[in-house]
Amino acid sequence: MKNNKEVIKKFKFEIGIFISLAFGIFFRFYKLDRQSLWTDELYSVYASSLENWQQFWNYLASDPHPPLFQILLSIWIHINPTGNEVYTKLFPVLISIFNLFVLLFLTKGWEKKRRFLFLLLFSFSPGAIYYAQEVRSYSLLLCLSSFIVVLFDSFLSDIQNKKRYVSLAILSICISYVHLFGFIFVGFLYFLFWIYFLGLKDNRRNLVFLLGVVTFIAYLPFVFQLLSGDKIATASWIDPPNLVLYLSYYSLYFYTSKKFLFLTVIVPVVLFLLIIYQLVKKIFRKGGFSVLRLSEMYLLVAIFVIIVTSIFSFYKPIVTNRNWIVTLPLVFMFVSEKISESKRSKILMVSLILLTILSFVDFKKNFYIVFKEDWRSTSQFISKQCEGRYVFSNATPEYIKLYLDWNSVQNFEPQLLGEETKIEQNKLCVVYRFLGGNGKSFEEKNGWKFVKEQQFYGMVVKEYLRSE
């Protein structure tokens, strides 16, 4: 028994890492098929399912996001063209799990306590888990941003390592072509560290500056494409920054609820604001960024990303909480190092673990409630209850077709409501999406009468009969 206790004590952090990763992987898979893909996900999936690249690029012509995620998703889908919805959802899940394992490898040289805390935060992050189950670019965005931060940290300790430097350049270009905020993330990271090393008169400034220049030059082709079309205008649906934005951003770190509001929100936020106050005071008292430690610089980069993009969003809204997912690795780097080096590290570490557990209790309870537009059930209803060749929809009938194909239902041709179509059938189903439809309604004329409707989350199917 004594020997067992000694072994547990000796390898407690390794055991903690193993448990964290095991739970993190489990929850990334858990109830993966609990709800339908929603419209934004289906946009990505449908585009990546198109049979040739010309159709692919034509469909993405008005998409304001860089195309790398879509290209990779297309490759994944075409590896198994007969794959279904779950197969498609596996793509971001596997990216997220790959992220955990690579971080486990990249941090093997870290101090044990710091490594455990960093991997704990990553494994249990509500934001990381949520976007691991959403077929959009955010899982990949978080994956690449975490690789960049960890490799950048190790490179700064060994600037002679050319492999890391080249890897950083490649990853920086890749993340820029995943999402605009990937480019913003590496831009702020390299710019602020360049200023930091410039103040210290440190030769590392030249290497950091070169990374920024290479990334910027590589991103220019997409910038020209973005400015030459109307892609920027498509972000007009985003609201200007408000309290909901910052609360939802906080939920990427810890899930919040009224039950544990004091422990999961008020206490951490107050402590965090005190830390920021101390950093600001340190900067102004001792003369600039050069007095900060590397871990404090990571936090500063995250703060700058949030503040600058928030200010810009009052002019042209571009920010949602998911865009700021790139700041998670920066904050996790700061928190893990700060706690591991603190004189009260045991108390702080236990507090962080308890906070994570409390957060996850509420996250697990509320996360698995269905809340996305239910294209899946709508399509299933059509396949079982509707008759005739045509089904009409006031928005994206191709998404209905996608679900019907996954279910091997080939006897329907979904059409956009309002298009001229000769209808010879006597029973007709019309799908109305509550948000984002084309504003058209089916007209009850030429003998057509409304019979009944079936509602699903975010949409309704209305059935019509035509008298002989």
Per-residue pLDDT, 369:
66
Q: What is the mean pLDDT of residues 439-461?
A: 89
Average pLDDT, the chain: 88
Q: State pLDDT tens for residues 50-82.
A: 988 888 888 887 788 899 999 999 999 999 888
Confidence of residue 191 (pLDDT cuts 50, 70, 90): very high
Position 442: which residue type? F
β-pair partners for 464: 428, 450
Q: State pLDDT tens for residues 82-140.
A: 888 999 999 999 999 999 999 999 999 999 999 999 999 999 999 999 999 999 999 99
Which range has the worst mean pLDDT, 42-51, 322-331, 342-351?
342-351
Q: Which residues of 356-393 are buried (b: 16+ CB within 10 A; e: fewer)?
A: bebbbebbeeebeeeebbbbbbbbbbbbeebeeebbbb
For residue 358, give the nearest of 250, 262, 264, 247 by alpha carbon.
264
Q: What is the mean pLDDT of residues 397-414?
A: 92
Distance, in Å, from the CA atom of 149 to the CA atom of 289, rounded to the nearest integer, reads 19
Distance, in Å, from the CA atom of 113 to the CA atom of 381, rounded to the nearest integer, reads 53
Q: What is the mean pLDDT of residues 268-272?
A: 81
* Helix pair angle (39-49, 397-406), 10° resolution: 70
pLDDT(299) > 50:
yes
Percent of the chain with pLDDT over 70: 93
Q: Quick one: how far is CA 214 from the chain centroid?
A: 25
Which range has the worst mean pLDDT, 67-76, 353-362, 371-380?
353-362
β-pair partners for 416: 393
Q: State pLDDT tens for residues 145-154.
A: 999 999 999 9
pLDDT(461) > 60:
yes
Q: Give this prediction's pTM.
A: 0.92
Per-residue pLDDT, 431:
95
Q: Do 128 and 26 meet the contact criterion of CB atoms below 8 Å apart?
A: no
Distance, in Å, from the CA atom of 264 to the CA atom of 360, rounded to the nearest integer, reads 10
For residue 440, give the nearest of 414, 424, 419, 455 by alpha carbon.
419
Q: Do 353 and 376 meet the contact criterion of CB atoms below 8 Å apart?
A: no
Per-residue pLDDT, 1:
58
β-pair partners for 390: 413
pLDDT(229) > 70:
no
Distance, in Å, from the CA atom of 126 to the CA atom of 203, rounded to the nearest integer, reads 39
